[in-house]
Structures are given as C-alpha cells and as structure tokens.
Amino acid sequence: DSPLRMLLCVPVFMAISQGWVYAHDQKSVTQTWTTLSFPLTLIWTALDRGSHTTAWGGRRGDSVLTTHFVDPLSFGSLTLLLSLLSFAGLTFYWQQLRAASRLITVLGIFCGFYLAIMSGSRTGWADMPVFFLIWTLFFGSKKWSLKKSLLLCISTTLLVAIAVYANPYILKKINLIFSEISNYHWSEMNKDGSVTLRISFYRMAVHYILANPIVGWGDLGWMARMNDPELLVYASEFARDFPRNGFHNEILTNTVRSGIWGLLSSLAFFLLPMQWAIRQIRSQTKDAPRHQALFILFFMLHLLIAGMTTEVTNLIFLGSFIGITMAVLLGESLYIAEEAPSSPLKTSGAKVVSRLD
C-alpha cells in the first residue's frame, strides 16, 4: 500500500513543478511547512502527549512517549526530522520571518527534540551530526562566519545532550549499543537484546537474500526457511519469527521481499533525489534553489540513516507522509531551478522565484 500512496502523490509533484499552486506572490510550501506547519505540529504534540506515556515498550514493560497508533521508533525519528527541517527553515528564511514566527519555530524545534528523546528511540539520531555538518558547510559558513555557525551547532547539540543525559531510559539504551555489540556471539546463541536482535535480523536477511536473490520471497515466503540450521546457531525462536514485521532495515527488508529488484528500487528511492540535490547545490549560485536542494538532501539523508535500523516506508501513514513531502520538495526544487516554467501561472510564478531569491 505504501508505494501506491507515493504514486498518488505524482499529480501533486507535477502541479507544483509547473507552478500551478502559486499565485499572488505567496510563500513557497516548503517555507510554510518548515517555519509554521512543522513547528506548530511539534508544539501541539508536546502539549497533547507530553505527559502521556504508552505501553509501546512491549514485553520489556518500558513506558515510552508516543501516540497510540505510531510505534516509538517512527515517532522519535519523525519528530527529530521535523525539528531538523524546522531548524533549516528558521535559518534559511530568518530575514523573511516576523518575530512571532521565529519564536514559534524555535519552540517547535525544541519541542521536537523533547519528543524524540522521550520516545526512547535511537532511530535517526546518527543523522544529527551529519545534518549540522552539511548545514555548516553549505549554509552557515557562507551566510555567517564559521565561528558563529559552529557555536550555534555546538550549543544546540549540548542542549540536546543534556536532555539525553537527564533521561535515564534513553541513556541506558545508548549504553546498550556498545555493550551488546561487543558481547554479540557470531557462532553461538544470543540473548534477545535490542541491538543483538538487529544484528541477527541483518544476518538472517542476508541468508534469505542469497537463497533467492532474483525474485525474493514476498512478504512471508522466507518463513519456510526460518528453521535452517545456519540460523538456529545464533537466533532464538523469537528472533527468527520477529522479521514478519520487517528486518529493521529498509533496504534489506525490500531486498528479501523482492530480490534484486527490491534492492535496486530502494537504492533509487534514496540516491536519485540526493543526486539531484547535490547537483543543484554544486551548480546553482542563487540562494533559493540551493536552499531547496538542501531541504531535499536533509530529508533523504535522514530517511536513509533511520532506514538502517528500521523500516521507513512500510507503514501506510509513513508512505503517505514521505510521498507528499518528496512531491513538494522535489516539485518546488524543479520549479525554482527552471525559473521560467511553462504553466498557466507563469507570471505569478516568476514573482515567487524572485521572492525566494
């Protein structure tokens, strides 16, 4: 269902890339999202869910912050992503924002960090240093001084680190990463820890891929091989059965399902938008197309990094969110880059480009 949801977003991409949604010198959708919609969403979610934990901790009995319908891995990753995109929007459009809009965006950013930490999820956090590095290299160091850019990034990171340190649950999960990796048994049975399970999932996925690399196994066809002797050595019954929900890796899950075609489609999904973004960053001299390309790069890199430890497109609501976001970001990037689209609103569209520049 998720690919179908993304396919349904193609008309949105076509309309935006042709400038049909613009009129009267309005702001871009990306600016509205990153400086208003995303921050307000994070603020409202923090007010609504900030003191309500759920039973998503599962068999370990952990109580984590999320919504009733969204697993904590996706919730934490998405709230972190919206915070980072809002950070980019705040800095890119700072001169165009009123004081109230700046305040709302700043509050939204820190609400998002709070929600991501309280979710207990480690998913996507490895993207944060990557985000700040790219932001500094391609924006901060050019628009501000390198010293000011580094100071802002380091200050934000320190505030988040203090919040993480103050949360014993997430701190314990971070420490488990190192201990479970160092204690993993490659030729013996492993305990069902969070990190050890993921390592076993990845090994099982490779086993299934090599057994049927061309067409894959479909959703659950691999279960016919879940008791292969090679897997019984290191994976418990729980570990061997759990991947019916996914192998906790976007690319491996799709490759097991669809073979080499799943691998190629996953790589294309991540790499083609990033290739377009990198090309725009390198070739464009104006701010608007470069900023739009950076939004695409930030978005896709976060999905790629988060997708290393969980599935990012398998759930229907994730497919819808990713599809519509990619349609808007890529559509506006194409529209702004061309600067003279052949659309019924060519005149008003040119005003938008001029305003964005």
Please write the tens of the pLDDT for every residue from 41-67.
Answer: 999 999 987 556 666 655 455 667 888
C-alpha dihedral, 120 to 122 to 124 to 128, nearest 10°: 100
Asked whether the predicted pLDDT for residue 327 surpasses 80, the reply is yes
- Answer left, alpha or beta for residue 156, where phi above 0 means left and psi between -120 and 50 means alpha: alpha
More confident residue, 165 or 268: 268
More confident residue, 119 or 33: 33
pLDDT for 51 equals 59
Instruction: Give the SS3 label for residue 64.
Output: strand
Taking the CA atoms of the chain, what radius of gyration do you get in angstroms?
A: 22
Q: How far is Cα 248 from Cα 239, in angstroms, rounded to an integer?
A: 12
Portion of the chain with pLDDT greater than 70, in percent: 90
- Of the candidates 191, 58, 75, the one whose C-alpha atom is nearest the C-alpha of residue 122 is 75
Asked whether the predicted pLDDT for residue 342 surpasses 60, the reply is no
Asked whether the predicted pLDDT for residue 341 surpasses 50, the reply is no
Q: Which two tokens stand for residue 315?
A: 């759930």
Kindly tell me the sign of the dihedral angle through the C-alpha atoms of 142, 147, 151, 157: positive
Q: How far is Cα 304 from Cα 173, in angstroms, rounded to an integer?
A: 21
Question: 104-143 pLDDT, tens per residue?
Answer: 999 999 999 999 998 888 999 999 999 999 999 999 998 8
Q: How far is Cα 249 from Cα 256, in angstroms, rounded to an integer?
A: 11
pLDDT for 120 equals 87
Asked whether the predicted pLDDT for residue 321 surpasses 80, the reply is yes
pLDDT for 24 equals 55
Look over the chain and give the mean of its residue pLDDT values, rounded to a whole number.
88
Asked whether the predicted pLDDT for residue 82 surpasses 70, the reply is yes
Average pLDDT over residues 155-161: 92
Distances (CA, A) of 118 to 5, 53, 66, 108, 318: 30, 9, 8, 15, 20
- Of the candidates 120, 117, 106, the one whose C-alpha atom is nearest the C-alpha of residue 63 is 120
Report residue 353's pLDDT band, with 50, 70 and 90 as the boundaries. very low
Annotate 93-143 with DSSP letters as a single string: TGGGS-HHHHHHHHHHHHHHHHHHHHTT--TTTTHHHHHHHHHIIIIIHHH
Question: 178-226 pLDDT, tens per residue?
Answer: 999 999 999 999 999 989 999 999 999 999 999 999 999 998 999 999 9
Q: How far is Cα 74 from Cα 228, in angstroms, rounded to an integer?
A: 31
Asked whether the predicted pLDDT for residue 69 surpasses 90, the reply is no
Helix residue spans in the chain (DSSP H): 2-7, 10-17, 29-32, 38-49, 72-92, 99-118, 127-135, 141-143, 146-165, 168-182, 194-211, 229-232, 237-241, 250-258, 260-283, 287-306, 316-338, 346-356
136 exposed, middle or buried (CB, 10 Å; 0-12, 13-18, 19+)? middle
Q: Which two tokens stand for residue 8?
A: 């349904």
Average pLDDT over residues 333-338: 89
pLDDT for 212 equals 95
